[in-house]
Amino acid sequence: MAEIKVMLKYADNPMQPNIQTAMENGAYATAKKHIGITPPQQIIDMVIESSLRGLGGAGFPTGKKWRFLPTDAKTRYLVCNCDESEPGAFKDRYLIERDPHQLIEGMILASYAIGVTKAFIFCRGEYYLGRHLLQKAVDEATERGFLGKNIFGTDIQLEIIVHPSAGAYIAGEETAQLNSLEGYRATPRLKPPFPAVAGLYGKPTVVNNVETLCSVVHIVNYGPQWFLSLGTEKSRGNKIFQVSGHVQRPGCFEFPLGTPLRDVIAAAGGLLSGRSFKACYPGGSSCSLLVERDLGIHMDFESLAARGSALGTASVIVMDDTTDMVKVSLRLMEFYQNESCGKCTPCREGTRWIVQILERMVKGLGTTFDIANIKRLCNGMSETSFCPLAVGAALPVLSAMAEFPEEFQAAVERNPYGHMHTEMPVSYPYR
């Protein structure tokens, strides 16, 4: 299957972040055509009809999310989730650094549709260039009257605030993000109430990913029928796949959903020369591993869920035959340990214990009980934690153990005295 570039159409033009160039390439034309003319409900209907699903990872239908907003609420907020921190994910950075006006236009359309006058872009702290370009794009759009009071000469107003985060993976979870935006620690909130009912400052709030909002521009521009012509029956439209790891040309590639994994990897030039495919994480690191027999799998929400994995952020992390899966598991679990917010004990302590076990396995000091212990801890923390972080931490390690049990077994067998330990010595965290 060939790439179909819609969101990334102008991504290779270095002048695209400039409003003049962006407008020559059609930016803001869709917003200008519809703001104040098309009834907001009609835009919501278009998005519902297109069956666009959230592209930040969860895949929740966007139109449905918008419709959840109570009709009687006066103050509502839109938050653009640009806190991309999933290992392997870099599409949001790509979009905001290469075509920031596309996102601003998407936010104008979404805000108009759901009746928002103040919107936020919650931008990752480490994206210095992206944040700078977004702020510049907001300033340029305000200057031209596309933002601010009386946008496009109508009586509609919209202000966009570019909000810098300060480095926390969990702030990508929508309710944790709202806490962070309110000036608190990024810890997830209990759902329900969902943000659509009580979100930012307790007001109805829609949280949408960067890519989702960029898609809205094209749905409104080309119409829902065009969007429905792309992708599979239940996963419509385009998706930006990010391929990294052991491939020739890592990068972003835009395909319709349902494109076979093999084609996505081929777009990145295939494996490094002389190497062969071993495994990949298809949707960032928080999902189950795919192996060689899965290369034909269709990259859409349903096919991957049926395989026991997930599309997630569509960040394909490719690993070749030289990869040590025990080391990969350790590295990922260290990541989740660092990023666990600490709210739930099973996740905070569980990730730390598993790191200690994997560490000693890598050093050749594992015990024969370690493999069962990791499984027990992974299942325990997944079942008893509040938000999906713990599940996301368990899946990559459990699936690596399921697909490559011999590597874990071999790691344990390197310790000749491994069978003599029946207890799990773990160190106390706070000395």
Residues that bind other proteins (CB under 8 A): 84-90, 92-94, 118, 124-129, 161, 163-169, 180-186, 201, 242, 244-246, 250-252, 281, 285, 315, 317, 319, 323, 327-328, 331-332, 335, 338-339, 341
Closest separation between CB of residue 299 and other proteins, Å? 17
Choice between 212 and 313, CB closer to other proteins: 313
Angstrom distance (rounded) from CA 215 to CA 211: 6
Closest separation between CB of residue 165 and other proteins, Å? 7
Closest separation between CB of residue 175 and other proteins, Å? 16
Q: Would you state the torsion angle of the CA atoms of residues 102, 105, 107, 110, taken in this order, to the nearest 10 degrees?
A: -120
Angstrom distance (rounded) from CA 146 to CA 163: 20
Choice between 185 and 376, CB closer to other proteins: 185
Choice between 88 and 224, CB closer to other proteins: 88
Q: Would you state the torsion angle of the CA atoms of residues 248, 253, 257, 259, taken in this order, to the nearest 10 degrees?
A: -30
Angstrom distance (rounded) from CA 286 to CA 288: 7
Within 10 A of 423 (CB to CB), how many other CB atoms are there?
Answer: 7
Choice between 205 and 235, CB closer to other proteins: 205
* Long-range pairs for 371-376: beta carbons < 8 A, 24 or more residues apart: 371/401, 371/405, 371/408, 371/409, 371/412, 373/424, 374/401, 375/401
Nearest to 346 by CA among 391, 394, 384, 388: 384
Closest separation between CB of residue 329 and other proteins, Å? 10
Choice between 291 and 424, CB closer to other proteins: 291
Choice between 26 and 125, CB closer to other proteins: 125
Closest separation between CB of residue 139 and other proteins, Å? 14
Closest separation between CB of residue 31 and other proteins, Å? 23
Angstrom distance (rounded) from CA 105 to CA 157: 14
Closest separation between CB of residue 232 and other proteins, Å? 26
Choice between 46 and 279, CB closer to other proteins: 279
Closest separation between CB of residue 202 and other proteins, Å? 10
- Measured in whole angstroms, the distance separating CA 21 from the mean position of its chain's CA atoms is 29
User: The dihedral of CA 410, 416, 422, 428: what is its sign?
Assistant: negative
Closest separation between CB of residue 316 and other proteins, Å? 10
Q: Which two tokens stand for residue 76?
A: 């509502």
Choice between 108 and 400, CB closer to other proteins: 400
Choice between 28 and 94, CB closer to other proteins: 94
Choice between 66 and 90, CB closer to other proteins: 90
Closest separation between CB of residue 327 and other proteins, Å? 8
